[in-house]
Structure 1
Amino acid sequence: MIGTSLGWMAQRLRLPAVTGQIVAGVLLGPSALALFDEAGVQDLAPLTHFALALIGVTVGAHLNVRRLRNAGRRLFWLLIAEATITPLFVGGLILAATDAPPRLALLLATLAVSTAPATVIALVRETRSRGVFVKTLIAAVAINNMSCIFLFELARSAGRLMGPGTDLAAVSAADVLVTSMGRLGQAVIIGAAMAALNHIITLRVLRSERLTTLSVVTLLLTFGLASFVEVSPLAACLSLGVVQTNLSPLRERLVDAVFADFEPVILCVFFTLAGLHLSLSQAAAGGMIALLFLLARGAGKLVSARVAMILAGATHRVRQNLGPALLPQAGVAVGLVILIQSDPAFGAVQEIFTAVVLTAVTVNEIVGPLATRVALGRSGEIGQDRARLVDFLQEENIVTGMHAGTLEEAIEQLVDLLISSHHLQGVDREELLRSVLEREAQISTCLGEGLAVPHGELPEGFGMLGVMGLSAEGLPFPTPDGQPVRCMVLLATPHGERDRHLEVLAALARTLGGDPVMRQQLYFVDTPAHACEILHGEDTEAFNYFLSEED
């Protein structure tokens, strides 16, 4: 009750609820009212475990491979940069400027990689943001937290060998790596196996209440089994989320759907319990380390995101804004604190580690959301989460550098892209291809000015869909004006959507046919992300306009 109340008060002050919930824990703990002793906290361990499991599976659920098509290069470089630059900044500064034990610095260095998924997603939803930047941001949060969990497990394994009085020269990096990777591998296998089992069973479950029960049981079994065999329960639950969300596109929102009703309550208890572990005397003692952690982590986030996006060839808006948007830190970091609190091997550093992390989380959950909101505004994607005329042309539905010797070959490539990127289960590829080629045989859909808009028919029950292929070199097809085709938009429409089809066709012909600046920008883009920014940017609202609720 107190956690909920202070969380609500924090929100009224335009602060994240987690800040108020941590403060509630501090007030209830030994530093203030002392209403909970150690035994009382232990009695609530099952709730803590369930919250940890929820955090892990939620992080994994945001790594949907289908939605991340074309974003792989950005995420790869971000994974490399965040896993190296940020930990080096944090660990190096703490070791250089304080006398902190090496294993404390190592734990803090790896924990610094994490970003608060709930905070970022809540801000995205609150501001109704959507676009290439938001897609990159949400995937980056998941990638960061995934790498944080794995790096932290490596740090825990090394930390167990780095107790007081240990000769660090005697600690074998190879042994630490082999042991840690083996344990992480077991955790991943447990999560994947439970996801597969859950998927098989849920194929036969139709009622939502049964689906919720089964999902909760699967989550608890995954966490419990991983704990029983002494591997990372967080890594197992993360694996559960990743595999589950990618097994079936029809169930990609499973985690959000089944846990939406009670997740806020569980996490409120979790953050309040985390605050119980925060000793104000230890917070004061660890103040310098916390300050260094905050400064180094902030610098690491900004530098690593910038370097990664430059190497990945990301758009200017993504390069400029991704780093600040990754500053919030809460759930995963607090979850890792709980793991250290329950690990007797770290008894000598538990209190100072807890104090530093919870102090940093409190600050990051005040400053971080402000930075994320500013980044969303600068990206130009606030308010874009509304239906637009060509909503079906997102980054994953666009291909650049298209090559084809004949028009038929190009159409076949686009049909395959349409089926794969929109995941059209139950659509007959050959029938769809035949409908496009038959229409093309009747009259050419090469409109001139480098634009071709072939179209085919989808079965009833689907909305209007499409994909875009871009070729800076140009495709040598017969055209009315003799110019090569540089942009092909394949439209697939059910019979009942003919009016929308004509509306889109007219908008494409009018804009690309009559606007040489737009053609120049779109035809010669480097990546699908750049093309998506052009199609869905503020400058193209006259062409790709927002649809009314009735539409």
Structure 2
Amino acid sequence: MNIHFTPDDALFQLAVVLVAGIVGGELVGRIGLPKVTGWIFTGILLRSFETQHDAFTGLTSGAVAGFDRFMDFVLGYIAFTVGAALHFASLRNAGKRLGFLLLGEALITPTIVVLAMYFVGGWIDPENMTIRVCLILAAIAIAGAPGTTVLVVQEARAKGILTRTLIAAVALIDMVAVGVFTFVVSYLTQDAGDVVSWHSSWPTALISVAREFGVAFLVGTSCSMIALGLTRTIVGPAFLGPTMVAVILGAWGAATGFGASSILACTFAGIVVSNVRHDTVRSTEAYLHSIGGVLFAAFYTLAGMKLDFALVMNAAGLVVLFFLARFLGKYGGAFAAMSIADVPKRVRNYLGLALVPHGGVAVGLIIIVQSVPHLSDVAATVTTVGLAALAINQLLGPSGARFALERAGEKDKDFPRLLDFLDEHHISVNITGTTKDEIIRSLASQLYSTNITPALPQDEFVQKVLEREQLETTFLSKGLMIPHAELEEGTNITGILGISSKGLNIGAPDGPVHAVLLLATPKADRKRHLEVLAAIATAITRNINFREQLYHARSAAHAYDVLHAEKAEDINYFLEDAMARVRDSGEQN
């Protein structure tokens, strides 16, 4: 039998990439760095050694182009997942800071990059660093790295206000980047020359942006709504995950066919699915979770092979300048936005660092520059500076993001805790009302507007709470009230915390009420209900510092920070730790 080995076999090459990436990621992980950094670094090494190994594997930087469809799917999956994080009901209290952050990203980051590249970069390389190059690089600088960010968050098991803001922001920031980039490119290509009439070109540029977003929105919405229709009529629960994979493939391919942004289309698809049928998102994530390691290890190793580190040396001064200018823009914009939004200091100080990673969208925008004829005069400079700085960001950015999560105190917090149901969108500050009934009804309305609601119609739930209140008041001392109802159905406790710094005069025996914790407890979770009551009551009545900080929290984010801080772990403990203590106590007895 004749055995003929073909070194350019795609499956064999993918196996080499996957194994090399896994090994590189594990080795880098052992020295405390994110695995994604190891995957990218492994890809860069594979590219640098290609002349030695291509005779055996056929794996060259050119052969990597054969895996573009695979990379498109992973990018689409990342965009869909990040879009799904934009569940509007869950972001009720985050709108202010997200709005300011997007404004900072749209204005501060590109402004700093343009000024730095034009004046300092123009001094370093006056021939190539034209205003056209500076504007395009500024637009590219806005883009983030949703995939890298999500992976770092998952690996760090991070949870908190910074994490929530970061995950929600990366999708929106990429939308801003695509919009600004589309505007700049449309503006610059109205005339092949260096001088363009602003008054005649900006309306056309805005129309291009509107078309880009409009087509992507229609494609993403259409694909997701068709799929959701099928899942409600024909497709069973077992195939929810595969159907959503079809949404990702369909949205990416259709957007490409219409000449719109495929990343935007998949992001819009995720947003629509998340807000129309939120449980479907979890099915998709669960379906792909088992092979997520394969997808990401191969994807980022291949991405590393696309980055030529030799480019750094060709324009070292401009590359370092662009990297530093983008870093200052990201950090400065986030710091200013979070200062205005009045978030906890640890979020304000470290969010900018967590936004530094630069990824797939930036690569896509650079490729677009290469394909536009009217930008041929700037394509080489943009590609060299952009990709070289991207390579540095890919290596340093993930570590910076994880460092930010650690310093913000959110690393290793994504484990079940007693008060997990009191997420930011289950907290409301500055509540008002003149009677118990009015306040209970108001809080119940807010509770039912979230994505986690009691398994009971709202009116029936309110009635059960009021009936319980008539039997025995739930006023406790020190300004605390905990109205609640026990439900026949459901498995997990939920609730909402209302805070009034001024105090509510609603008949409490010891004065104004400052905190009202409305609970909905299924019979199956009654043990946790009792633990929650004991923990909150103990903290409020016995710890004056905790009580004052909670009662006078300026926002839901500040209140969440008080409840979930390390200092509050005595009351908001990790459930696994509590069970371990119970087991140890039983063994000793």
Question: What is the TM-score of this pair, normalised by structure 2?
Answer: 0.85
| Aligned partner of residue 497 in structure 2, secondary structure | strand
| Aligned partner of residue 142 in structure 2, secondary structure | coil
Q: Deviations for 1:390-440, whole angstroms, at most 9, x for unmatched residues?
A: 221111101000000111101111222222225327521121111111111
1:314 pairs with 340, 343, 350, which one?
Answer: 343
Give the CA deviation at 1:18: 4.3
Give the CA deviation at 1:294: 0.2
Alpha-carbon distance in 2 for matches of 1:355, 1:396:
44
How do residues 56-205 of structure 1 correspond to structure 2 at under 5 angstroms?
56-96=79-119, 97-98=121-122, 99=126, 100-161=129-190, 163=192, 165-169=193-197, 172-203=201-232, 204-205=234-235
1:103–1:162 contact (8 Å) kept in structure 2: no
Counterpart of 2:525 in structure 1 is 497
Q: Deviations for 1:215-272, whole angstroms, at most 9, x for unmatched residues?
A: 3332222222222222222222221122122211212334423444555555555555
Alpha-carbon distance in 2 for matches of 1:513, 1:42:
64
Q: 1:239 to 1:488 in 2, by over 3 A?
A: same
Q: 1:417 to 1:358 in 2, by over 3 A?
A: same
Is the counterpart of residue 393 in structure 1 residue 422 in structure 2? yes
How do residues 220-231 of structure 1 correspond to structure 2 at under 5 angstroms?
220-231=249-260
Q: 1:389 to 1:258 in 2, by over 3 A?
A: closer
Q: 1:24 to 1:207 in 2, by over 3 A?
A: farther
Is the counterpart of residue 219 in structure 1 residue 248 in structure 2? yes
Alpha-carbon distance in 2 for matches of 1:26, 1:348:
28
Counterpart of 1:424 in structure 2 is 453
Counterpart of 2:478 in structure 1 is 449
Q: 1:509 to 1:283 in 2, by over 3 A?
A: closer
Counterpart of 1:539 in structure 2 is 567
Could you tell me which runs of 5 or more consecutive residues in structure 1 were left unpaired when the two chains were aligned: none
Alpha-carbon distance in 2 for matches of 1:103, 1:267:
35
Question: What is the TM-score of this pair, normalised by structure 1?
Answer: 0.91
Q: Deviations for 1:475-531, whole angstroms, at most 9, x for unmatched residues?
A: 1111222x1111111121122333322222122222211222222111111101111
Is the counterpart of residue 459 in structure 1 residue 463 in structure 2? no
Q: Tell me which amino acid in the other structure corresponds to 2:18.
A: T
* C-alpha RMSD over aligned residues: 2.8
Is the counterpart of residue 411 in structure 1 residue 445 in structure 2? no
Q: 1:8 to 1:351 in 2, by over 3 A?
A: farther
Counterpart of 1:354 in structure 2 is 383
Q: Larger deviation: 327-336 or 390-399?
A: 327-336
| Aligned partner of residue 576 in structure 2, secondary structure | coil
Alpha-carbon distance in 2 for matches of 1:331, 1:25:
19
Q: Which has the higher helix share?
A: 2
Seq. identity, %? 34
Give the CA deviation at 1:202: 2.2
| Aligned partner of residue 531 in structure 1, secondary structure | helix
Alpha-carbon distance in 2 for matches of 1:312, 1:73:
6
Alpha-carbon distance in 2 for matches of 1:338, 1:494:
54
1:19 pairs with 40, 47, 50, which one?
Answer: 40
Q: Tell me which amino acid in the other structure corresponds to 1:547.
A: L
Counterpart of 1:381 in structure 2 is 410
Q: Deviations for 1:346-399, whole angstroms, at most 9, x for unmatched residues?
A: 444444333323322221122222222222122122222222222211111010
Could you tell me which runs of 5 or more consecutive residues in structure 2 were left unpaired when the two chains were aligned: 1-14, 580-589
Alpha-carbon distance in 2 for matches of 1:32, 1:460:
61
Q: Deviations for 1:125-160, whole angstroms, at most 9, x for unmatched residues?
A: 222221122112222222222222222222332343
Q: Deviations for 1:45-73, whole angstroms, at most 9, x for unmatched residues?
A: 43344344334323322222122120110
Alpha-carbon distance in 2 for matches of 1:459, 1:65:
29
Q: Larger deviation: 190-199 or 334-343?
A: 334-343
Alpha-carbon distance in 2 for matches of 1:154, 1:212:
36
Q: 1:536 to 1:143 in 2, by over 3 A?
A: same
